[in-house]
Amino acid sequence: MIKVDQSKCIGCGLCAILCPEYFQLNGDVFKAEVIKEGSSACVDEAIDNCPAQAISRD
């Protein structure tokens, strides 16, 4: 399961740019949310590049 830690996310939007199928930025609160489960190279890319280390997967 992919998770975005809402307390860590700074709303930069990078994950949604790198991997729009899986992440979207909730514009009301400026936090990212997961919109799809599964695995994809872009999910790894988002995890590796998130500046706040807010994305995890178990």
Contact residue for ligand SF4 among 2, 14, 19, 43 (CB under 6 A) = 14
Give min distance, CB of 39 to ligand SF4, in A.
17
Q: Is 9 in the site for ligand SF4 (CB under 6 A)?
A: yes
The radius of gyration of the chain from alpha carbons, rounded to an integer in Å, stands at 10
Sole binder of ligand SF4 in the list 4, 19, 22, 43 (CB under 6 A): 4
Distances (CA, A) of 9 to 4, 24, 42, 52: 7, 12, 18, 6
Regarding 43 and contact with ligand SF4 (CB under 6 A), the answer is no
